[in-house]
């Protein structure tokens, strides 16, 4: 019912609200939050509406109240487990990036095809063989995966993940995955992104070329 764009913005709002709360702010107006997030005030109001939270015309939104409401909307009741497949340079960096960042969403296992990596503990996470995906994921109850394997292996590994019960994939491999529509895939294609930036940097950009 709620678009992927909206979900993305809500995630961002929450982070900004947490920062504001750490600075002692108790309430915030839609235009304040909008300015920090780089969107319009109307956008913020509409997004807030979609989580069913209401503010007050005099004080705006309660910072902790809205942060919590977004949390209830976005987060699962219980923490979700994440697997990371492909422990190369990028995989390790991403693992380090996420470790400890979101307690409700933690990487519990990694997988690689390199026998030298299997068995090691990297950033607090044990590395298993790719062959073990099916058994381990069922065991750990993993529904979300991060894919950081080389392009050539991506499709095959993705299918394996889906067979193991994964319902959502954050795909860093530069290949569009062909998967059942019931699996949500978010692509982060760094080459495409960099080419986009290079193109608009030349064109003078202008206009409002950001979709976030």
Partner DNA sequence: TAGATTGTTAATCGATTAACAATC
Residue 200 binds DNA (CB under 7 A):
no
Tokens of 170: 């954050």
What is the nearest approach in angstroms of a second copy to the Cβ of residue 69? 15
Q: Of 72, 92, 95, 70, nearest to 82 (Cα)?
A: 95
Residue (6 or 99) nearer to DNA, CB:
6
Q: What is the CA radius of gyration of the chain?
A: 20
Residue 108 Cα distances to 14, 22, 141, 167, angstroms: 24, 28, 10, 16
What is the nearest approach in angstroms of a second copy to the Cβ of residue 58? 27
49 binds, among DNA, a second copy, none (CB under 5 to 8 A by kind): DNA
Q: By CB under 7 A, what part of segment 22-81 binds DNA?
A: 29-31, 39-43, 45-46, 48-49, 53-58, 60-61
Give the Cα separation of 2 and 87 in Å (integer): 33
Residue 3 binds DNA (CB under 7 A):
yes
Give the Cα separation of 91 and 74 in Å (integer): 25
53 binds, among a second copy, DNA, none (CB under 5 to 8 A by kind): DNA
The 8-class DSSP code of residue 175 comes to S
List interacting residues with DNA (CB under 7 A). Answer: 3, 5-6, 29-31, 39-43, 45-46, 48-49, 53-58, 60-61, 208
């Amino acid at each position: 019912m709620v678009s992927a764009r909206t979900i993305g913005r809500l995630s961002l709002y929450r982070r900004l609200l947490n920062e504001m709360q750490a600075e002692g702010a108790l309430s915030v107006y839609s235009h304040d939050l909008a300015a920090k997030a780089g969107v319009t005030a109307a956008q913020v109001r509409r997004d807030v509406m979609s989580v069913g939270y209401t503010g007050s015309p005099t004080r705006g939104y309660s910072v902790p109240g809205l942060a919590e409401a977004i949390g209830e909307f976005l987060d699962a009741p219980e923490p979700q487990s994440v697997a990371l497949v492909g422990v190369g340079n990028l995989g390790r960096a991403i693992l380090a990036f996420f470790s400890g960042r979101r307690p409700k969403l933690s990487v519990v296992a990694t997988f690689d095809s390199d026998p030298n990596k299997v068995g090691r503990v990297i950033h607090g996470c044990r590395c298993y063989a790719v062959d073990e995906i099916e058994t381990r994921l069922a065991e750990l109850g993993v529904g979300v995966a991060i894919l950081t394997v080389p392009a050539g292996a991506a499709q095959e590994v993705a299918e394996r993940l889906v067979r193991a019960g994964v319902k959502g994939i954050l795909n860093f491999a530069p290949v569009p995955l062909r998967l059942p529509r019931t699996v949500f895939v978010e692509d982060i294609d760094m080459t495409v992104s960099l080419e986009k930036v290079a193109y608009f940097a030349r064109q003078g950009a202008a206009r409002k070329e950001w979709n976030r």
